[in-house]
Amino acid sequence: MTESGVYRSSGTNNAPLPLPNVEQVELQAMLDWLSTYGADAQGGVTRLLYDSAWCEAQGALAAKMQEKGLSPEFDQSGNLYGTLKSEGKESATGAEELPIVTGSHIDTVVYGGKYDGAYGVVAGVLALEYLQKHFGAPKRTLQVVSLCEEEGSRFPFAYWGSRSITGITALEDVEHLKDQDGVTFAQAIRDAGFGPDSAYRPAAKNYGAFIELHIEQGQVLERLGHSIGVVSDIVGQKRFSITVSGEANHAGTTPMSWRKDALAGAAEMITVVRSVALDAGEPLVATVGRITADPGVGNVVAARAVFSLDIRHIRQESMDRCWQDMLQAFSRIAAEQQLVLDWQEHLSVTPIPMNAQMISDIQDTCEQEQLSYWLMPSGAGHDSQIFQPACPTAMIFVPSQDGISHNPLEYTAEADLMHGFRVLVRLLYKYGYGS
């Protein structure tokens, strides 16, 4: 064992591991099967936290885990674990070692694709089935987790699954949040059969290490011609709701210079977002993806406008400076146009480097498999950035065709899916079966 708690095998275990019949693993078929839960009219998948499609998918996965020889178990948040128990040996200290866990999330954005998150869950289930079939019980317990939520698509809060596991966030911190239909988080979790009043155990659980296999959701690997992305770090994120308040008035009788037009003010602020981000330079990105106006009538000056703001960077200080520059400009615009500015921060996640030893292990594994790889940051947020402060964590990317994600056109070729699967199997074998 190393200081980080991850097994580092000796020279004899570094020889290439024969992987019999790995091509027969029906990875694509299981992804297609899972995508039927929440299939939408746009040709994509919509599974939002605690909705009926999500509940059916998690239930079907639990049954599938059981079928594959794993022991399924839910926690109070709705995270689903499939366990491949060790052969019962204890560590040198006499205590059972913490499990090595792989997995991802199964919730989606609205009209999302079938690979985002789901790939890591399906690959994890099949990897544990494969290892048990060919090598028996591991020396160290292995688990796959289907995290209940990552996207933040239903409620204005992301990473609930991993945050509840690591203890960063408790239900009382988010139970008041409402979705667009006015349903509270507390009601949604209760209606889905989870929460503190359910029969399930609390979410908090310690991991020995976490490995997340995921599609890249970008074009880097495809454009550079690499099979595997080895994630070096994950960008930090800030997400806000910006509210601009003015005064509703008649569109025909109110002179332009007398108006307190909230929507016009918001539009000017949104152009500031782009200019500040461009001035900051890459890799900083800032996005306004949603805007609403009230009363939302064509012949009435808007009294209120609300827009979203998403800022990302691999360095915290750069992200903070960008936000302060934007806020200063927003305040100036509001004052000039006699508007009231308010803002609420929904998410603040610091940039997180992945575990250095696990990065090295993934690189070694790619070389054993003769797969070209690229060491790269992740511009998208992932559950791995929540787990890394709590346990050694690593991410593995496979290419996304044309970089398209969060879209029904999201696609990764089966050969690329299998490359990632082989790397995952080797890594789990190394940590779970090594001497």
Q: What is the pLDDT of residues 152-192, one digit of tens each?
A: 999 999 999 999 999 999 999 999 999 999 999 999 999 99
For 323, the 3-state DSSP assignment is helix
C-alpha to C-alpha distance for 231 and 58, rounded to whole angstroms: 28
How many CB atoms are closer than 10 A to CB 73? 15
* Residue 17: pLDDT over 80: no
**Percent of the chain whose predicted confidence (pLDDT) is above 90:** 86
Average pLDDT over residues 334-345: 97
Q: Which two tokens stand for residue 104?
A: 């991802």
Average pLDDT over residues 293-300: 96
- Residues 46, 47, 49, 54: what is their CA dihedral angle, to the nearest 10 degrees? 160
Whole-angstrom distance, CA of residue 124 vs CA of residue 143: 8
User: Which pLDDT score, from 0 to 100, does residue 305 have?
Assistant: 98
pLDDT averaged over every residue in the chain: 93
pLDDT of residue 307: 98
Mean pLDDT of 363-378: 96
pLDDT band with cut points at 50, 70 and 90 for residue 18: confident
If you write DSSP's letter for every residue of 182-209 in order, what string do you get?
S-BHHHHHHHTT-STTSSSBPS----SE
Mean pLDDT within 304-327: 96
The DSSP result for 34-80, as a single string, is HTTTTB-TTSSB---TTSHHHHHHHHHHHHHHHHTT-EEEEBTT--E
pLDDT digit string (tens) for 198-217? 999 998 788 999 999 999 99
Give the pLDDT of residue 381.
86
The percent of residues above 70 in pLDDT, for the chain, comes to: 94
* pLDDT tens digits along 21-75: 888 899 999 999 999 999 999 899 999 999 999 999 999 999 999 999 999 999 9
78-108 per-position pLDDT tens digit: 999 999 999 875 555 445 689 999 999 999 9
